[in-house]
C-alpha cells in the first residue's frame, strides 16, 4: 500500500522563504484556499529522494600505488626558475615566469634567427627541461644538451574554501607545505570550523586546468560517507586554484498539532517521521492520515502534498518520503 499524496499548485507571492510566524501564516492561508476550492489532483507519492537533489558519490579509489602527495606541482606564473646548460654557460639564465606563463628560450649574442617561445605554466620542471633540451638540439646543437631546470622560488599554491565554514584566515588555504600537498578533507579541516548546517555529503570542487585555464567540473563528493566508512585513502589531493564549496543543509519547518513547532536542520535522509520525532512528536488527536507538505518547486509555484503518516507508522506504506530544504509540514488536529 502506497502513502497517499495529493497536491494542488498555487502561485507563490514571491521573495525568499520567511521564517516561523510569517511562514505559518502563509501555510495556513494556502491550506485554507485549497480547502475552499475543494479541488485536488492526484500525483505520484513524494519520491524517495527529491527530484532536484544533486547526486553525490564517494571520491574515486586511489590508484594501486596510492596518491603521490609528494609529486611536484605544475609551474605557475610568478615562480622563479633557473635554467642551466652544461655545454654553453652563456645560455644559463634565472627568470620569473610571466603572467602569460610563456617566455622566450634564451639565446646568446652569437646566435642568429628568431627566438623560440616556450609555455611553462602547467608543466613540471622535469617536462620543462626536456622541452628546452629539444629546442636547443634543434636551434643550437646537433645533439641533446644537458639542461637542468630548478625551482628557485615559488608563489603559494592556494585553494579557496567557501560555504558553511568559519575560516581561520579568510577563505584560502595553502595546499603545498613541507613538500607535500593537502587532500580535500585535510584542507577543509585546516581551514577552519564547520558550521552547524554544513553538508559534508555534497562537497563540490571547481578546478581549472593549469595548462589551458578551462573549468573542469568534478562530481559532488560525499565526504560524510567517506568519514563514516573510514575510507580515508579515497581523500583526493588538491590542485592549485581549486575552489571548494561546502553547501548548507538548509532547514525544514513543521507547524500545527506538534509539541515543538518551528524550523529544523534538513539533515541527510530527513523523512517526515524523522522530522515529527525531532519536533517532540505529534499531540493527541492529530490528523495523521492527511499531513500536508508544502514544497517550493522553484518556478514561482508551491505544491501541496497530502501524506498518510498513519500508514507509514503502521508499516503499511511503501516508504517514508524524504524531505528537502524549505519544505513546510503541517499537522492538523482531528475534528469530530
Which of 84, 118, 130 lies closest to 211, judged by CA?
118
Question: Which cell numbers hold the place of 262?
Answer: 518551528
> Which residue shows C-alpha cell 575560516?
167
| pLDDT averages per 10-residue partition of the chain, 336 residues | 45 45 56 47 50 70 90 89 92 92 75 75 92 88 92 91 85 85 93 91 85 76 93 92 91 94 90 94 92 82 86 89 90 81
Tell me how far CA of residue 41 lies from CA of 5, 6, 34, 150, in angstroms. Answer: 9, 6, 11, 71
β partners of residue 6 = 42
Pairing of strands 251-256, 93-96: unpaired
Q: List, in order, residues 6 or more apart from 28 with CB less than 8 Å away.
A: 330
> What domains appear along the chain, each with residue ranges and CATH number?
6-51+251-331 (3.10.560.10), 56-65+157-246 (3.10.560.10), 80-153 (3.30.1950)
- According to the model, what pLDDT value does residue 206 have? 92
Cβ-proximal residues to 15 (8 Å cutoff; 6+ apart), any chain? none
**What pairing do the DSSP bridges indicate for beta strands 6-11 and 172-174?**
unpaired
What does the pLDDT read at residue 241? 85
Element (H, E) at 31: helix 20-37
Look at residues 224, 312, 326 and name the one whose alpha carbon lies nearest to residue 274.
312
CA distance 63 to 65: 5
Pairing mode of beta strands 165-167, 176-177:
unpaired
How far apart, in Å, do the first and last CA atoms of the chain sit?
26
Torsion of CA 265, 269, 273, 278, to 10 degrees: -30
Q: Indicate the pairing of strand 172-174 with strand 158-163.
A: antiparallel
How much helix, strand and coil, in percent to the nearest 5, is found in the chain? 20, 30, 50
For the chain, give the number of residues. 336
Number of helices followed by number of strands (H, E) in the chain = 6, 23
pLDDT value of position 314: 93
Whole-Å CA distances, 290 to 5, 169, 286, 308, 334:
9, 50, 9, 5, 10
Q: Which of 145, 143, 192, 147 is nearest to 166 (CA)?
A: 192
Strands, E, within 175-261: which ranges?
A: 176-177, 180-181, 192-194, 204-208, 215-217, 220-221, 243-246, 251-256
Rounded CA-CA distance 67/63 in Å is 7
Amino acid at each position: 500500500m502506497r502513502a497517499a499524496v495529493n497536491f494542488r499548485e498555487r502561485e507563490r507571492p514571491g521573495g525568499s522563504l520567511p521564517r516561523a510566524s510569517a511562514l505559518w501564516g502563509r501555510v495556513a492561508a494556502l491550506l485554507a484556499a485549497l480547502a475552499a476550492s475543494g479541488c485536488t489532483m492526484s500525483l505520484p507519492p513524494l519520491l524517495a529522494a527529491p527530484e532536484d537533489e544533486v547526486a553525490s558519490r564517494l571520491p574515486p579509489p586511489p590508484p594501486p600505488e596510492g596518491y603521490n602527495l609528494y609529486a611536484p606541482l605544475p609551474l605557475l606564473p610568478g615562480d622563479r626558475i633557473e635554467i642551466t646548460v652544461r655545454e654553453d654557460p652563456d645560455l644559463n639564465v634565472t627568470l620569473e615566469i610571466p603572467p602569460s606563463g610563456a617566455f622566450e628560450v634564451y639565446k646568446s649574442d652569437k646566435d642568429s634567427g628568431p627566438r623560440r617561445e616556450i609555455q611553462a605554466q602547467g608543466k613540471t620542471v622535469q617536462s620543462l627541461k626536456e622541452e628546452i633540451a629539444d629546442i636547443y638540439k634543434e636551434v643550437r646543437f646537433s645533439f641533446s644538451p644537458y639542461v637542468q631546470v630548478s625551482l628557485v622560488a615559488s608563489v603559494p599554491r592556494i585553494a579557496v574554501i567557501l560555504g558553511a565554514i568559519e575560516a581561520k584566515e579568510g577563505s584560502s588555504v595553502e595546499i603545498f607545505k613541507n613538500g607535500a600537498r593537502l587532500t580535500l578533507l585535510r584542507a577543509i579541516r585546516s581551514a577552519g570550523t564547520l558550521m552547524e548546517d554544513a553538508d559534508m555529503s555534497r562537497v563540490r570542487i571547481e578546478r581549472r586546468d593549469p595548462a589551458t585555464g578551462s573549468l573542469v567540473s568534478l562530481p559532488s563528493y560525499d565526504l560524510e560517507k567517506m568519514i563514516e566508512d573510514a575510507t580515508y585513502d579515497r581523500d583526493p589531493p588538491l590542485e592549485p586554484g581549486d575552489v571548494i564549496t561546502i553547501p548548507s543543509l538548509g532547514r525544514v519547518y513543521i507547524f500545527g498539532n506538534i509539541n515543538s513547532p518551528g524550523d529544523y536542520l534538513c539533515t541527510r535522509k530527513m523523512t517526515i517521521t524523522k522530522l515529527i520525532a525531532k519536533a517532540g512528536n505529534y499531540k493527541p488527536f492529530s490528523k495523521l492520515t492527511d499531513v500536508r507538505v508544502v514544497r517550493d518547486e522553484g518556478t514561482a509555484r508551491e505544491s501541496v502534498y497530502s501524506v498518510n503518516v498513519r500508514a507509514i507508522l503502521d508499516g503499511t506504506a511503501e516508504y517514508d518520503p524524504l524531505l528537502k530544504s524549505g519544505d513546510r509540514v503541517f499537522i492538523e488536529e482531528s475534528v469530530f
